[in-house]
Amino acid sequence: MNHNVLRCDNVYRSFTLGPSNVDVLKDINFTITTGEAVSIVGSSGSGKTTLLNLLAGLDTPSAGEVFMADQALSGLSDRRRAQLRNQHMGFVFQFHHLLPEFTALENIILPQIIGGMKQADTEPRAMQLLERVGLQDRAGHRPAELSGGERQRVAIARALINQPPVVLMDEPTGNLDDTASEQVHELIMELNRDMDSSFIVVTHNQDWARQMPKKYLLKRGRLEQSR
């Protein structure tokens, strides 16, 4: 049964620049349900990063509301929003943001350690995810010993360690060559088919975006569903 995992209701975001207000996002309405794969494309400056920050509860709308796990984010304390992010969201960025002094395995288990779990309890799932992303033999390697594509696959495994209902991806292949980019793209689509997590991918890669089952275009601050 599908459930709403993330929802925007009439969301606006404005910023004050000198004497005037600039509307970056205007009347954003969309809903993500269990297991969906969604792409969001838009030109530079169209508001994609602003939208991701709102979806993650890192910023608050000027008007309207964002709901995560059916909870309105604006009414929650910073601590509660952080807890929801840890429990209900995974994040993958253009740059992997792995901690250089930690191994691949240690980087993957960090979200669960932060959530209060013991390392011995979380390592078995982390190893399963390493195997799932094809890096079971790289568990003890640090980021500097991994290729760009391997580092991004570790970042994807880290995003999935808490079995989040939704994973936000900001240009996840933007820093990779064509071959590594295609491998990561195929992995993401396989994981989406095999798991209950929904994937929201912000990308400039039009070919990839068109292959996603649900597609949006962000243009002049408005979000439109594409065919």
Q: What is the pLDDT of residues 136-165, one digit of tens each?
A: 888 889 989 988 888 888 888 888 888 888
For 37, the token pair is: 């794969």
Segment 158-186, tens digit of pLDDT: 888 888 888 888 877 666 667 777 777 78
Q: Bigger pLDDT: 183 or 37?
A: 37
Question: Is pLDDT at 1 greater than 60 in this prediction?
Answer: no
Q: Is 186 exposed, middle or buried (0-12, 13-18, 19+ CB in 10 A)?
A: exposed
Q: Is 167 exposed, middle or buried (0-12, 13-18, 19+ CB in 10 A)?
A: buried
Provide the whole-model pTM. Answer: 0.84
The answer to whether the beta carbons of residues 26 and 221 sit under 8 Å apart is yes
What pLDDT shows up at residue 176?
66
The type of residue at 142 is: R
Q: Where are the domains of the chain?
A: 4-226
Its CATH class, for the domain covering 4-226, is alpha beta
What pLDDT shows up at residue 9?
93
Distance in angstroms (rounded) separating the CA atoms of residues 220 and 15: 15
